[in-house]
């Protein structure tokens, strides 16, 4: 996973990897604005691009997120994930397109780091998957959404540092029930 740093540094890191099976990329408005040519070249070399809704709109030039996802896909990455904060997540590829709501959090204390937690959860889940298919992608995005929802309930790592897999599974099941009641 090429976490959010200068795209020229990300490119250098990618060049050091020996036959990676799945390369994910994160960016931010700073790089979209000031390093767009480098970012566009890098997008052609990755499998998965993760952006928040503002970044997706800025990079694609599209206000509508469905159109933005399509435009981002045309830039290279076969898998596009658009984080929509409290409104959930949108996934787009040539084969599949779906979205999930965010986990309903009673009180957001601090959203700082939620995007990084989301990306870590997504890539962590995908890294242990035997194959990338529709079921795996859906589960990975639900997992990522779940862990990010814990992050916003405290400052820093106050909540996530205490998480157990049992806690994650319980919250994931609650989110799945929220998505598909009964």
Class of residue 82 by CB neighbours under 10 A (exposed 0-12, middle 13-18, buried 19+): buried
- First-to-final CA distance of the chain: 36
Length of the chain: 182
pLDDT value for 157: 84
Nearest by Cα to 53 from 82, 78, 30: 82
Tokens 């700082």: give the residue: 112
Count of beta carbons in the 10 Å neighbourhood of residue 122: 26
Query: Whose CA is closest to 70, among 80, 84, 59, 58?
Result: 80
Residues catalogued as catalytic: 116
Q: How many CB atoms lie within 10 A of CB 176?
A: 15
Tabulate helix, strand, coil % of the chain (nearest 5).
55, 10, 35
Cβ–Cβ < 8 Å for 150, 175: no
Residue matched to tokens 């709501």? 101
Q: What are phi and psi of 26, to 5 degrees?
A: -125, 155
For the chain, where are the alpha helices, taking DSSP H only?
7-16, 29-34, 36-43, 53-60, 65-74, 114-128, 134-151, 165-179
Residue 18 makes CB contacts below 8 A (sequence gap 6+) with none
| pLDDT tens for the 182 residues of the chain, in order | 999 999 999 999 999 999 999 999 999 999 999 999 999 999 999 999 999 999 999 999 999 999 999 999 999 999 999 999 999 999 999 999 999 999 999 999 999 899 999 999 999 999 999 899 999 999 999 999 999 999 999 998 888 888 899 999 999 999 999 888 87
């Amino acid at each position: 996973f090429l976490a959010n740093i200068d795209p020229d540094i990300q490119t250098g890191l990618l060049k050091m990897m020996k036959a990676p099976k799945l390369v994910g990329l994160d960016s931010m408005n700073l790089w979209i604005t000031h390093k767009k040519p480098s970012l566009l070249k890098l997008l052609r070399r990755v499998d998965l691009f993760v952006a928040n809704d503002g970044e997706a709109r800025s990079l694609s030039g599209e206000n509508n997120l469905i159109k933005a996802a399509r435009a981002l896909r045309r830039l290279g990455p076969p898998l596009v994930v658009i984080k929509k904060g409290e409104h959930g997540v949108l996934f787009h590829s040539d084969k599949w397109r779906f979205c999930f709501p965010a986990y309903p959090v009673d009180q957001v204390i601090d959203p700082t780091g939620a995007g990084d937690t989301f990306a870590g959860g997504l890539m962590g889940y995908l890294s242990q998957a035997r194959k990338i298919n529709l079921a795996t992608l859906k589960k990975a995005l639900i997992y990522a959404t779940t862990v990010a929802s814990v992050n916003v309930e405290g400052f820093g790592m106050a909540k996530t540092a205490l998480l157990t897999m049992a806690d994650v599974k319980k919250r994931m099941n609650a989110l799945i029930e929220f998505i598909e009641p009964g």
